[in-house]
Amino acid sequence: MKEINDSEFDDFVKSNETVIIDFWADWCGPCKMVAPIFDELSKEFEGKAVFAKMDITENPNTPSKFGVVSIPTFLIFKNGEISGELHGAMSKPDFKARLNELF
């Protein structure tokens, strides 16, 4: 799972066709609950999307730019442009179903 930072964000989302970014923080309980699910889904969606994580505590600029006010927030980018977003911790079946709707 790739951890990205503010300085590499733009290049990262532009260099991959479909990207899902998990905006999280170490102090966030729901973020910790959904982290293993996000990791499992990254393997299941391999070839369809690139999954990455961004710690909002260490990288405040990008979350602010996209209006991320609660975490976990998952932003989906297609060809460098935001195409969807999901909020909050979800069960794996719910998360997977919502991602399938966006693809």
Exactly one of 28, 71, 75, 99 is catalytic; which is it? 28
CATH number at residue 10: 3.40.30.10
Distance CA 103, CA 94 (A): 15
pLDDT tens across 28-63, in order? Answer: 999 999 999 999 999 999 999 999 999 999 999 999
- Band (pLDDT 50/70/90 cuts) for residue 102 is confident
- What is the tally of structural domains in the chain? 1
Q: Is 88 a catalytic residue?
A: no
Exactly one of 4, 13, 21, 31 is catalytic; which is it? 31
- Band (pLDDT 50/70/90 cuts) for residue 103 is confident
Buried b (16+ CB within 10 A) or exposed e, 46-68: eeebbbbbbbbeebeebbeebeb
Mean pLDDT of the chain: 95
pTM (predicted TM-score): 0.94
- Band (pLDDT 50/70/90 cuts) for residue 1 is confident
Q: Is 28 a catalytic residue?
A: yes
Domain that holds residue 35: 2-102
